[in-house]
């Protein structure tokens, strides 16, 4: 059974930082494109950043220069370092792994940016 388990979310003040982690089990992520998505209340799910098996990175314009995605295949884990957080970054952050038509999702970790 494939599981993606996110951690690291929480409440942070504007300008603060968080580091999210997504640990995969049941698959070896080295062949997968791994991504972070987010969904705010009343809004559609959107891509934050993803990283291919060859470590090519794609990021949303809204997070460029603030968020960094990375992967550690040996630990079967993908990370999202989030700096200079803004209130508009408030959302549930979900981990995704995909390989061709195969697509897995985690349940998400909530991030709230508020003073």
Residues 6+ apart with CB under 8 A from 28: 73, 76
With CA atoms as reference, report the closest residue to 76 among 17, 13, 30, 15: 30
> Where are the alpha helices (H) located in the chain, listed in sequence order?
none
Please report the sign of the dihedral spanned by the C-alpha atoms of residue 67, residue 71, residue 72, residue 77: positive
Where do we find the tokens 């295949």?
73
What share of residues in the chain are helix, strand, coil (percent, to 5)?
Answer: 10, 55, 35
Q: What confidence tens digit (pLDDT) does each residue in 4-19 have?
A: 999 999 999 999 999 9
Q: What confidence tens digit (pLDDT) does each residue in 34-89 have?
A: 999 999 999 999 999 999 999 999 999 999 999 999 999 999 999 999 999 999 99
CA distances from 20 to 42, 56, 82, 100 (A): 23, 19, 8, 25
CA distance 9 to 113: 10
Which percentage of the chain shows pLDDT scores above 90? 100
């Amino acid at each position: 059974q494939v599981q993606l388990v996110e951690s690291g979310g929480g409440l942070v003040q504007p300008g603060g930082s968080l580091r999210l982690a997504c640990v995969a089990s049941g698959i070896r992520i080295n062949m997968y494109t791994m991504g972070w998505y987010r969904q705010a209340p009343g809004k559609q799910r959107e891509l934050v950043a993803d990283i291919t098996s060859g470590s090519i990175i794609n990021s949303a314009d809204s997070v460029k220069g603030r968020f960094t995605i990375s992967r550690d295949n040996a630990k079967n884990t993908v990370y999202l370092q989030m700096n200079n957080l803004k209130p508009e970054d408030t959302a549930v952050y979900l981990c995704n792994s995909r390989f061709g038509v195969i697509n897995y999702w985690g349940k998400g970790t909530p991030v709230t940016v508020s003073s």
